[in-house]
Amino acid sequence: MHTNKAPTITLKIPQALVSKSFWLENLTIGNRQYPRFMSAPIDGITDSPLRQLIREFCPKELLFTEMRHVACIAHKKDEKDVLFAPIEHPLCFQVSANKLDFIESAMEKILSKNVEMLNLNAGCPAKNIVKSGTGSALMANLPQLEKIIKLLTKSIDSAVPLTLKIRAGFKEKNALEVSQLAQDLGIQAIIIHPRTQPEGFTSPLDFDLVKKIKETVKIPVIFSGNVNSFTRAKLTYEKTGVDGFMVGRALYGAPWKIHEIKEESQGRKFEICTKKMLEYALKHLELASQYYGQGHGFNVFKKQVPLYIRKIEGASLMRQTLLRTQTEEEMKNLLKNELLKI
Ligand SMILES: Cc1cc2nc3c(=O)[nH]c(=O)nc-3n(C[C@H](O)[C@H](O)[C@H](O)COP(=O)(O)O)c2cc1C
Q: Is residue 209 within 8 Å of 177, Cβ to Cβ?
A: no
Q: What per-residue confidence (pLDDT) applies to 9?
A: 46
Q: Is 247 in the pocket of ligand 1 (CB under 6 A)?
A: yes
Distance 247 CA to ligand 1 centre (A): 9
- % residues pLDDT > 90 (the chain): 89
Q: What per-residue confidence (pLDDT) applies to 151?
A: 98
Ranges of the chain with pLDDT below 50: 1-10, 13-16
Distance 42 CA to ligand 1 centre (A): 5
Q: Is 9 helix (H, G, I), strand (E, B) or coil?
A: coil
Residue 68's nearest CA partner among 89, 90, 88, 46 is 46
Residue 97's nearest CA partner among 119, 76, 65, 126 is 119
Q: Is 205 in the pocket of ligand 1 (CB under 6 A)?
A: no
249 φ, ψ to 5°? -60, -20
For 268, other C-beta atoms within 10 Å of its C-beta total: 9
> Could you identify the atom of ligand 1 that is nearest to the CA of residue 66?
8
Q: Is 193 in the pocket of ligand 1 (CB under 6 A)?
A: yes
> Helix, strand, coil % (nearest 5) of the chain?
50, 15, 35
The pTM of the full predicted model, rounded to 2 decimals, is: 0.94
Residue 151's nearest CA partner among 106, 94, 217 is 106
Q: What per-residue confidence (pLDDT) applies to 168?
A: 98
Q: What per-residue confidence (pLDDT) applies to 299?
A: 94
Q: Is residue 162 within 8 Å of 187, Cβ to Cβ?
A: yes
Residue 49's nearest CA partner among 301, 330, 246, 295 is 301
Q: Angle of helix 48-57 relative to helix 257-265, nearest 10 degrees?
A: 30
Residue 64's nearest CA partner among 191, 237, 152, 187 is 191
> In what helix (H) or strand (E) does residue 219 lie, and over which residues does it extend?
none
Q: What per-residue confidence (pLDDT) applies to 331?
A: 95
Distance 39 CA to ligand 1 centre (A): 10
Q: Indicate the average pLDDT of the chain.
A: 93
> Could you identify the atom of ligand 1 that is nearest to the CA of residue 121?
11
Q: Is 195 in the pocket of ligand 1 (CB under 6 A)?
A: no
Give dist(CA 287, CA 290) in Å, integer.
5
Q: What per-residue confidence (pLDDT) applies to 5?
A: 45
Q: What per-residue confidence (pLDDT) applies to 143?
A: 98
Q: What per-residue confidence (pLDDT) applies to 313?
A: 84
Q: Which amino acid appears at position 185 of this protein? A: L
Q: What per-residue confidence (pLDDT) applies to 18?
A: 81
Most ligand 1 atoms within 8 A of CB, residue of 45, 224, 247 to mutate:
224
Distance 92 CA to ligand 1 centre (A): 15
Q: Is 55 in the pocket of ligand 1 (CB under 6 A)?
A: no
Q: What per-residue confidence (pLDDT) applies to 215?
A: 98
* Beta strands at 221-224 and 190-196: parallel, antiparallel or unpaired: parallel
Q: Is residue 244 within 8 Å of 27, Cβ to Cβ?
A: yes
Distance 210 CA to ligand 1 centre (A): 17
Give dist(CA 262, CA 244) in Å, integer.
13
> Could you identify the atom of ligand 1 that is nearest to the CA of residue 226?
25
Q: What per-residue confidence (pLDDT) applies to 294?
A: 86
Q: What per-residue confidence (pLDDT) applies to 312?
A: 83
Angle at 75 between CA 71 and CA 77, to 5 degrees: 145
Q: What per-residue confidence (pLDDT) applies to 257?
A: 98
Q: Is 278 in the pocket of ligand 1 (CB under 6 A)?
A: no
> Could you identify the atom of ligand 1 that is nearest to the CA of residue 250?
26
> Could you identify the atom of ligand 1 that is nearest to the CA of residue 246?
26
Give dist(CA 143, CA 115) in Å, integer.
28
Most ligand 1 atoms within 8 A of CB, residue of 37, 39, 43 to mutate:
43
Q: What per-residue confidence (pLDDT) applies to 78?
A: 66
Helices (H), the chain: 48-57, 70-75, 103-111, 127-130, 142-156, 175-184, 207-216, 230-240, 257-265, 274-292, 294-302, 305-308, 315-324, 328-340
